[in-house]
Every structure is written in structure tokens, then in C-alpha cells.
A and B are shown apart, each in its own frame.
Chain A
Amino acid sequence: MESIVLGKTHRTPGVNFDANTGILELSGRSIPENALAFYQPLLDWIDEYQQAADHKIINAIFRLEYFNTSSSKCLLDLLRKLETVHQEGIQVNVQWYYDTRDEDMEEAGKDFQDLIETDFELIPLP
């Protein structure tokens, strides 16, 4: 199975979904008008990853600056998929990093934390 590595753009986040380590990282901004077109391949990748029998852990790392509401729905879909993966036996850890000066991004992390049931850590960046 191949990893997904995408650079950051003005509209879309950097992606590093590493098939070897199970580290899934999103960083930067996510403000495309049609977020689903961007996120669908990432959702499909997690399905494929789950079916690979030798992977037993996922560390999902979010280092987002900001995102639009279209992306917020896709981020929740992604987190729910991780929740399902967790319920089916794979260890999943979610780390949500936020700038301590940015209470909106902290609040967004709390929103997602309240909506999913898996290990979800909010980590302030000084």
C-alpha cells in the first residue's frame, strides 16, 4: 500500500499519510469550496489501510491553521472513520495541535473531541 504525501497549497492542507508508520498528518489550511473532492481520497485511503492486516496503530496528527465549514464536515467524517477503525481493533490516537494565541482552533478541537469517541488529545503550541 502506498503513502499519500501532498504539499500545502493556499487552499488545501499538507497531507502525509504514511502507510509504513501509521502516522496520518494534516497541516496548514483547509479552505477549498468543495472539500469532499479533496478529502474523499483520504477517506478511501483509511479504508484500505484498515484492511492491511499488519497495521495495528494509527497516530492522527492535526496541525491546522484554519478551515472552512465545508472542510469541518470532512474532518468529522475522517475522525469518524478513525473512530470506526478503533472500534474494530486498531489503536487510534488523535493529536490536535493549536496555537495558544488561537482560541478558535482550540475550540474547534474541543468540538471534534466532543463528537467522537477515541483517544483525542488537545495539545497547545506555545
Chain B
Amino acid sequence: MQEKPNTTYQQTLLDFEEELTPEALDAILEKIEVMLISIEPVLKIRKRIFCILVEALQNVFNYLRIENVEDKRLRIVTCLLEKSEKGYTIKVGNYLLFSKVEQLREQIERVNRYSKERLRETYLATLAKNELDEQGGAGLGILDLIRKSGQKLRYRFRKINEDISHFLIQITIIAN
């Protein structure tokens, strides 16, 4: 894990790229939590950042388990946390099957259009009806990220080859 602290307008608080193993995930979350206590005084914002990072990284982790991805190169996850005057930006990137791209794109585009009220209604309806999948996911990840951040998700897919794409999601947390 690498950290690139600086004191300019846009401060990078966390920047890592590594294979996402259970041990790595534990270490990352522990480090993030300790760091947040020292940099963000407002409890609500601190918890929001941590929850969003947990959800985003666990979404990737669960995806890798569900798809049984064993190639270490495809288990590489990138995570960036930046602070600016407006708040925080989280970027999480991972590889995924090209066949999953359209479904994910459609899901994000659909949920991005929801009002705050519709987001809550959909979240509750999904929570009320969904069974946990065998890996523990509840199908609520994207809804939760948008609901917690209060901002639309930004994302990018980059095609690597016929089978694999790279997915980057960006979540903004307004801290003012």
C-alpha cells in the first residue's frame, strides 16, 4: 500500500493498488479507519467515508468470489481517496468480465436517475425482497453507495480484451 500525502488543494490520502485478499482487505480497512480519525473531525462524514469504502471494496471482493477469479492479475484492485475543499472523492477500480459490463452500466444509469425519495423506496423494496446470495451480497451495493454519498456515481469501463474490462467507480462525499 502506498500513501502520497501532500498539502495542496487536492490532497491524496490513500492510493493503493494490490491483490484483494481477505487479509489485504482487513489491513486496508484498519488503516483507513485509523487515518480517518486523524484527518476528519466530523463523525458523520468520517463514518460515511468509511462505510462507502467498505461497501465499494466488499462489492469487489464479493464479485471476485462469486466469479471465482483466481488469476492474481485480475484480482488487483485500485483505491484512491482524495480530499479537496468540497469534500472527499473515492475511486475504486477492478477488473471484471466483459459480459458483465452492460448489466452494470444499466444498473448505475438507472439508479443515478432516481430522486432521493425513489432511491429510498427502491432500497427498502430491494432490502425487503432480496435473499442474500451464497456469497453474502444483498444486491444493494450500488443503491447504498448513491444513497450514502447523496451524489450520482461516476464510472468508466475500459475494455482490456475480448473477455475482460476494467471498471472504475468514483464516489463523491460533500463535506461542507
Give chain A's interface residues, CB within 8 Å of chain B.
10-11, 31-37, 65-66, 68-70, 72-74, 76, 99, 101-105, 111, 114-115
Give chain B's interface residues, CB within 8 Å of chain A.
22, 25-26, 29-30, 42-44, 47-48, 50-51, 54-55, 58, 61-62, 65, 120, 123-124, 127-128, 130-132, 135-138, 140-141, 144, 148
Residues of B within 8 A of A111 (CB): 120, 123-124, 127
Contact across chains for A69 and B138 when beta carbons are under 8 A apart: yes
- Within the complex, what minimum Cβ distance (angstroms) separates A120 from chain B? 14
Main secondary structure of the interface of A (DSSP, over half): helix
Contact across chains for A37 and B47 when beta carbons are under 8 A apart: no
Main secondary structure of the interface of B (DSSP, over half): helix
Known: A33-B61, A33-B136, A34-B135. A72 touches B44 (CB 8 A): no
Contact across chains for B136 and A34 when beta carbons are under 8 A apart: yes
- Within the complex, what minimum Cβ distance (angstroms) separates B6 from chain A? 29
Contact across chains for B136 and A70 when beta carbons are under 8 A apart: yes
Contact across chains for B30 and A70 when beta carbons are under 8 A apart: no
Residues of B within 8 A of A68 (CB): 51, 54-55, 58
- Within the complex, what minimum Cβ distance (angstroms) separates B26 from chain A? 7
